[in-house]
């Protein structure tokens, strides 16, 4: 089993100060086949990270790519300001990285946002931003930038419970009798 991370193990944990907003940027809807695989995803994420480093404020922190996600810490930024910045970031990234006619033209870039309030841990903020990203990715094209809410974990649990459709464990156990 993977060890549970504590705040010292997070790549940008010290950078998520209260009054900052954490953005978890994720790329999905990549089509894995003979032309596209793990190596190409890693290269894409490193290119996206380089693009982010060119345009974010110097005070902000861009974490290393982790599979198809990147953490961005927006220091001293409220949620509304973070949403504005993320709209500009997504516009820039789409223009450069998801050009029509390319293998990744249909890839989608979404962002989950969470503001770290005083008394809230960096790890809780990270989980909230990640849950918001998952919600954005599951909402289709409705919202590519999503702010964390208290109900995100309930929606994720509900989706997990019904995610297998008819092929859940109760159906399989019933069908094997």
Kindly state the percentage of the chain with pLDDT values over 70.
77
Per-residue pLDDT at 168 exceeds 80: no
Write out pLDDT tens, residues 10-55: 555 456 888 899 999 999 988 888 888 999 999 999 999 999 999 9
- Nearest Cα neighbor of 23 from 77, 89, 74, 78 is 74
Which tops the pLDDT comparison, 17 or 59? 59
- What burial class does residue 23 get, using C-beta atoms within 10 Å of its C-beta: 0-12 exposed, 13-18 middle, 19+ buried? buried
Q: In the predicted model, what is the mean pLDDT of residues 77-101? A: 91
- What burial class does residue 52 get, using C-beta atoms within 10 Å of its C-beta: 0-12 exposed, 13-18 middle, 19+ buried? buried
With beta carbons less than 8 A apart as the criterion, state whether 102 and 53 touch: no
pTM above 0.75, yes or no: yes
Confidence band for 5, pLDDT divided at 50, 70 and 90: very low
Neighbours of 28 (CB within 10 A): 15
Instruction: Report the alpha-carbon angle 42-69-152, nearest 5.
Output: 155
Confidence band for 145, pLDDT divided at 50, 70 and 90: very high
Which tops the pLDDT comparison, 149 or 140? 149
């Amino acid at each position: 089993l993977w060890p549970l991370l504590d705040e010292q193990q997070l790549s940008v944990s010290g950078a998520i100060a209260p009054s900052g907003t954490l953005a978890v940027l994720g790329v999905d809807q990549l089509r894995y086949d003979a032309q596209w695989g793990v190596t190409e995803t890693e290269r894409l994420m490193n290119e996206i990270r380089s693009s982010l480093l060119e345009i974010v404020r110097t005070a902000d922190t861009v974490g290393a790519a982790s599979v198809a996600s990147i953490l961005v810490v927006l220091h001293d930024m409220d949620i509304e300001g973070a949403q504005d910045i993320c709209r500009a970031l997504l516009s820039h990234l789409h223009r450069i990285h998801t050009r029509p006619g390319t293998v990744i033209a249909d890839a989608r870039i979404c962002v989950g946002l969470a503001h770290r309030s005083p008394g809230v841990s960096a790890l809780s903020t990270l989980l909230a931003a990640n849950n918001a990203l998952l919600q954005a990715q599951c909402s289709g094209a409705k919202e590519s930038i999503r702010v964390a809410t208290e109900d995100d974990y309930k929606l994720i649990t509900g989706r997990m419970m019904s995610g297998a459709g008819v092929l859940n464990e109760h159906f399989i156990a019933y069908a094997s009798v």
